[in-house]
Amino acid sequence: MRRIQVSVNGVAYEHEVEPRLLLVHYLREGLNLTGTMVGCNTSNCGACTVLLDGESVKSCTLFAVQADGHEITTVQGLQTNGDWHPMQTAFHEQHALQCGYCTPGMILASVSYLKENPNPNEEDIREALEGNYCRCTGYENIVKAVQQAAGQTS
Amino acid sequence: MTQAPERYMGNGLPRKEDPNLVTGKANWTDNIKLPGMVHMSMLRSPFARAKVTKLDVSAALERPGVVAAFTGADLAEEWPGGVPCAAVVSEEQKTPFFPPIVTDEVRHVGDVVAVVVASDRYAAQDALEFIEVDYEPLPAIVNMEDALKADSPLVHEDLGTNECFTYTANVGNTDELFDRTDDSGDAGAEIRGPEIQGQGDTDEAFRQASVVVKERYIQQRLLPTAIEPRAAVAYPDPGHGGYVIYSSTQVPHLAKIVLSLATGIPENQIRVVAPDVGGGFGSKLNIYREEILAVVLAKTLGVPVKFVEDRSENYQATIHGRGQIQDIELAADSEGKILGMRVKLLDDMGAYLQLLTPVIAISGGAMFPGVYTFDNFSIEIKGVFTNLTPTDAYRGAGRPEACYAIERAMDSLARELDMDPAEIRRRNFYEPFDEPTANPAGLMYDSFNLQGALDRAIELADYQSLREEQRRRRESNDPVQLGIGFATYTEICGLGPSHALAGLGIGGGGWEVASVRMLVTGKVEVATGTSPHGQGHETSWSQIAADVLGVTPDDVEVLHGDTGIVPFGRDTYGSRSLAVGGIAVYHAANKVVEKGKKIAAHMLEAAEDDIEFEGGKFSVAGSPDQNVGIGDVAGAAYLGNDLPEGMEPTLNETMTFDPPNFTFPFGAHICVTEVDTETGAVKIRDYIAVDDCGPVINPTIVDGQLHGGLAQGIAQALYEGVIYDEEGNLLTASMVNYMIPGAPELPNYTLDRTVTPSPSNPLGVKGVGEAGTIGAPPAVINSVVDALSPMGIRHIDMPASPMRVWKAIQNAQGKPSGDRQEDASLGASAADIKQGGDA
Ligand code: FES
Ligand code: FES
């Protein structure tokens, strides 16, 4: 067992964890933050995407111990004073989700990408999201949502 | 119909489902934690076919955290019914016993050999390695054509054959038609000599010359790949006795019945809940051995038991889709008018029959004639057992297979007659109709206007300019060639009339239930038997109820997915939800209004016939000031202290709607591809889809369904395919080597609609969930083949990967193209047969 200190959605935690515990399982089982999901366990689908110090990572490819000393944001940490993040609003308004299972990961990957490139074109967005699978929407509306959040459409 | 001042139906309202989903508050099955809950993990077979010669779980029991471990023999008495199959498609159908845990022989990679229960998932998984098991591997039956040979080993020795069933249907006189025109020799099309009818009139004779097109097409196996893997939690119900099962399922109501049949636990002691479900696409239209096991273990151990599959288990143990070898023949006259069709299918069952396995090809069988009218049709379908994962319904379920075959064959016919592919389709279309009209297989199509959809698609595509661009590229030998592919399709939706489902061999039960209740505070509850997993029923059903009752969608709460809350229901699959379940909501809400009228008449001291209802208000005809709102009527109905003589209190109406017929959405798709002849890469430049699903309740949701369906259809055409090796090993066993398309692989779509109401229900709605998956595969492949047709390429199998396309080009040019691993389960590919290429 190893002791880790992490800040998740602005709350500080300290826990003893098994070295092999995956970060996604730490979040889900340890902290009950079930907005982060598992879709593949092989780092392909992106359902487990969270922000680590503001950058998107796949939490099924990290061990909890690797998050020691870092700040993590899950989808539950995106709201400010109860207001949705513009990306959450955009996903809703553009009908960028159906079953919603990919959605938290997709939103976080998009939030992180817009920080990197605030003014992307459609192709950029598609390339940027290549590590996040959605089986329901066919991606067109997801791309539109990211464009909306980037201020490119209303 | 009553009407609110604001009509919500037809409006693309943002979804009511979204707030929980975008903020991480959804309730997935894997979120559930209960006191004392244990986790189960399966020991799965690494062999496609082997005898289990030794099995000992005792060492696993010693591992930390392990609560129990069982073999099939330990638990066999707990599942008298095995895993049930609901379909019987012929009297001779062979249905093997399908045990949740095998006892003697494993029959596919991923078959279950033992189960371990432990305090957490990691501990259960660790302990699996300590189960002692020996296998005696046997030759696996992997290929359907081999499986039917007399000397083939058998998947199920006790059945004495690998043939699950043979189903035949014959309408008109196909044999005579084809015997007359068929030389039953080489595959491929040929133009036959004239049928001499007049004497010495060669013009007349040539006019009647017939063409026969013979093609073999392959429907590769596909992995449905809902992004949420399956999960279940079963626990003894402390309050009531019996068991509660949370499951990531499309079919909580069917699960309740099947779990009872499998375990012998009385149906009234089982409650099934489908919480938020992360996609299904047919793969969760099944009750799996793991769900049965979870219930059995909850019963045996007396504690909550959780099962969550990982992705590789999902690919080995959740059903696969498709898996057909299709031989199709079309006969036509020289004008391109189809005279008849003959179809032979081999349909891969896999190792066992899941809930609907045998019926998938049969329900699609009657759809082979597609949108074309002719008289002679025959079909023979053989279901074949193999040592592979069972197949079952995957988005489209029989219809994409049928549509692909006819739409590819139409292009072959067009090519043989040197006719435009749009024109040959037009010549065989039904004239527009709005009353049920029989298709060659005896289905009653409900309403069509194919010409309207095709005209619109051609206009949107700017078809003539595309053909000109294609000609220019051909003439300049552009390395990137342009392809234009058509698919005009229909699909069978709104499953379905109970009598018709009985005819298909699945008993019936094609109805759907809705209850609409006006609460004392004026709010509305709609309880629906449909079970959405991404389709947005909460939003659409609210729109329907709001319009009928004259309230707003926000006043309506839609309850679903819990057999304790909605006791009867038939769940969500087969694009049935709106055309059956949504209509039940509509009828139940109208019943509320009808009863409300009686109460309002009583309250307003007027005759019932004089009461009008509009915008949520009952008023007396001619004196609109005399009125009472539906909320007040609901209050009076609830209090019940002053109602018309003999009336039951409360406004709570239920409708069980059994439709008179299926619905048949249709449409025209045009796929424009750019094919790089140097690399084999295919780029979809434009995809035009004009779909007609009748009037639309929520256009935003409908477009979303189309996007997703098209994406999965394009995925079948270009990207996805299961690969098994000769030993039955699944080589595409994780997302690392099974390619589902990401955002960069897929295009934007140009969508439009025509609106031809269905006579099957009062709203005229048809259904849309599977349209894209049905239209897209032939549209894409027709486009790719069209691009390459000047090279003499006549067919490329799905998925038309760059490697396959490049190989076809190399072969066409007489150049070597090397070998690559192809799927061993489906025999020599059509392209190899057609083009004489290497295997
Ligand atoms: S679960 Fe982490 S990428 Fe799929
Ligand atoms: S919305 Fe279902 S996987 Fe993306």
User: From ligand 1's centre to the CA of B44, what distance in Å?
Assistant: 22
Task: Check which CATH number belongs to the domain holding B134 and give it.
Answer: 3.90.1170.50
Which residue, B406, B393, B467, is CA-closest to B441? B406
Whole-angstrom distance, CA of residue B56 vs CA of residue B453: 63
pLDDT in tens, B2-26: 444 469 999 999 999 999 999 999 9
pLDDT in tens, B490-508: 999 888 788 888 888 888 8
Q: What is the CATH number of domain A86-153?
A: 1.10.150.120
Question: DSSP states of B365-384 as a string?
Answer: HTTTTTTB--SEEEEEEEEE
Task: Check which CATH number belongs to the domain holding B820 and give it.
Answer: 3.30.365.10
Which residue, B765, B767, B752, B763, is CA-closest to B694? B765
Query: Residue range A54-65: average pLDDT?
Result: 97
Whether residue B116 lies inside any domain: the answer is yes
- How far apart are the two ends of chain B, measured CA to CA in Å? 62
B649 and B750 within one domain: no
B650 and B668 within one domain: no
ipTM over 0.85: yes
B684 and B708 within one domain: yes
Closest ligand 1 atom, residue A40 Cα: 4
Among residues of chain B, what percentage have pLDDT more than 70?
93
Range of B109's domain?
33-138+227-279+284-317
Whole-angstrom distance, CA of residue B607 vs CA of residue B598: 9
Q: Does A81 touch chain B (CB under 8 A)?
A: no
Residue B327, Cβ density class (10 Å: 0-12 exposed, 13-18 middle, ≥19 buried): middle
Q: Select A2-74's CATH number: 3.40.50.2300, 3.10.20.30, 3.60.20.10, 3.40.50.300.
A: 3.10.20.30
Closest ligand 2 atom, residue A135 Cα: 3
What is the radius of gyration, based on Cα positions, of chain A? 15
Q: Which of A29, A126, A137 sits opposite B708 (nearest CB)?
A: A137
Which 48-67 residues of chain A touch chain B by CB within 8 A? none
pLDDT in tens, A76-134: 999 999 999 999 999 999 999 999 999 999 999 999 999 999 999 999 999 999 999 99
Residue located nearest, by CA, to atom 4 of ligand 2:
A134
Q: For residue B838, what pLDDT is reported?
A: 32
For residue B810, the surrounding DSSP H or E stretch is: helix B802-812
Q: Min CA distance, B567 vs chain A (Å)?
A: 24
Contacts of A61 (CB under 8 A, 6+ apart): A43
Is residue B10 a contact partner of residue B258, using CB atoms and an 8 Å limit? Answer: no
**DSSP-derived secondary structure letter, B582:** I
A74 CB neighbours in chain B (<8 A) are: 24
Is pLDDT above 50 for A154?
Answer: no
Query: Residue range B401-418: average pLDDT?
Result: 97
Q: For residue B829, what pLDDT is reported?
A: 46
Three-state DSSP class for residue B773? helix
User: From ligand 1's centre to the CA of B482, what distance in Å?
Assistant: 37
Q: Which of B657, B681, B699 is the last residue of a domain?
A: B657
Dihedrals φ, ψ of B186, to 5°?
-65, 150
Q: How many domains are there within chain B?
A: 3
Q: For every residue of B535-560, which 3-state class applies, written as one string?
A: CCHHHHHHHHHHHHHCCCHHHEEEEC
Task: Count how many Cα atoms sit within 13 Å of the Cα of residue B198 in the half-sphere of its side chain.
Answer: 10
pLDDT confidence of B195, banded at 50, 70, 90? very low
Whether residue B707 lies inside any domain: the answer is yes
Q: Which of B602, B636, B657 is the last residue of a domain?
A: B657
Q: For residue B759, what pLDDT is reported?
A: 94
- Strand A11-17: give its sheet, edge to edge: A11-17, A2-8, A71-73, A49-52, A55-58
Whole-angstrom distance, CA of residue A100 vs CA of residue A84: 16
pLDDT confidence of B205, banded at 50, 70, 90? very low
User: From ligand 1's centre to the CA of B3, what distance in Å?
Assistant: 48
Query: Residue range B293-309: average pLDDT?
Result: 97
**Cis peptide preceding B153, ω within 30 of 0:** no
pLDDT in tens, B224-270: 999 999 999 999 998 888 999 999 999 999 999 999 999 999 999 99
Question: DSSP states of B308-356 as a string?
Answer: E--HHHHHHHSPBB--EEEEEEEEEETTS-EEEEEEEEEEEEESS--SS
Query: Residue range A11-19: average pLDDT?
Result: 96
Which 88-107 residues of chain A touch chain B by CB within 8 A? 88, 91-93, 95, 97-104, 107
Q: Which of B18, B31, B740 sits opposite A34 (nearest CB)?
A: B31
Size of interface A-B (CB pairs under 8 A): 176
Ligand nearest the Cα atom of residue A50: 1
User: From ligand 1's centre to the CA of A110, what distance in Å?
Assistant: 16
Whether residue B156 lies inside any domain: the answer is no
| B91 CB neighbour count, 10 Å cutoff | 6
Predicted structure pTM score? 0.94
pLDDT in tens, B707-750: 999 999 999 999 999 999 999 999 999 999 999 999 999 999 99
Give yes or no for residue A131 CB within 6 A of ligand 1: no
Is residue B619 a contact partner of residue B481, using CB atoms and an 8 Å limit? Answer: no
Q: For residue B1, what pLDDT is reported?
A: 39
B624 and B673 within one domain: no
Question: DSSP states of B589-609 as a string?
Answer: HHHHHHHHHHHHHHHHTS-GG
Is residue B718 a contact partner of residue B800, using CB atoms and an 8 Å limit? Answer: yes
Is pLDDT above 60 for B834?
Answer: no
pLDDT confidence of B416, banded at 50, 70, 90? very high
Whole-angstrom distance, CA of residue B243 vs CA of residue B478: 66
Which residue, B387, B391, B353, is CA-closest to B258? B353
Three-state DSSP class for residue B508? coil
Is pLDDT above 50 for B281?
Answer: yes
**DSSP-derived secondary structure letter, A29:** I
Whether residue B612 lies inside any domain: the answer is yes
Whether residue B13 lies inside any domain: the answer is no
Whether A2-74 shares its CATH topology with A86-153 is answered no
Q: Where are the domains of chain A?
A: 2-74, 86-153
Whether residue B546 lies inside any domain: the answer is yes
Integer CA distances (angstroms), B24 to A47, A77, A104, A106, B506, in order: 12, 9, 6, 12, 39
Q: Min CA distance, B707 vs chain A (Å)?
A: 5
**Residue whose token pair is 């051995």:** B289
**DSSP-derived secondary structure letter, B260:** H
B597 and B681 within one domain: no
Q: For residue B504, what pLDDT is reported?
A: 81
Three-state DSSP class for residue B461? helix
pLDDT in tens, B157-177: 999 999 999 999 887 777 776
B573 and B473 within one domain: no
Q: For residue B179, what pLDDT is reported?
A: 63
Say whether B749 and A98 touch across the interface (CB within 8 A). Answer: no
Is pLDDT above 50 for B200?
Answer: no
B234 and B121 within one domain: yes
Contacts of B146 (CB under 8 A, 6+ apart): B152
Residue B173: both structure tokens together: 């006189």
pLDDT in tens, B308-366: 999 999 999 999 999 999 999 999 998 999 999 999 999 999 999 999 999 999 989 99
For residue A123, the surrounding DSSP H or E stretch is: helix A122-128
User: From ligand 1's centre to the CA of B535, what distance in Å?
Assistant: 24
pLDDT confidence of B793, banded at 50, 70, 90? very high
Whether residue B590 lies inside any domain: the answer is yes
